[in-house]
Amino acid sequence: MSTSRTPEPVYQHWEYRPGSTYREMFIKGRRIRASVVEGTIHGPEPITPEEFAQDYQVPLEAVLGSGEDRTGSDPRESSPA
């Protein structure tokens, strides 16, 4: 029986940070975690994704895609159910 691995998804604006203790993705080239983006645009004093992108000088596409399973545990380390 061969064990085939599902290829890891490639994201244009997101990456895992080697050596980071956080198990979530960061905006490429920045120290901004996905949970920070989500908390800022959906938190108690939310701002729009457009405002976040402008204020933090990041691509709007990265902000709009921040909630797509980029927070929480690293899917590369999950075990099959």
- Give buried/exposed letters for 30-49 (b at 16+ CB in 10 A, else e): eebbbbbbbebbeeeeeeeb
DSSP for 2-70, written as a single string: --PPPPPP--SSEEE-TT-S--SEEETTS--BHHHHHHHHHSSS---HHHHHHHHT--HHHHHTTTTT-
Contact, 52 vs 37, CB < 8 A?
A: yes
Predicted local confidence at residue 42, as pLDDT: 93
pLDDT one-digit tens code per residue, 28-75: 999 999 999 999 999 999 999 999 999 999 999 999 987 665 655 444
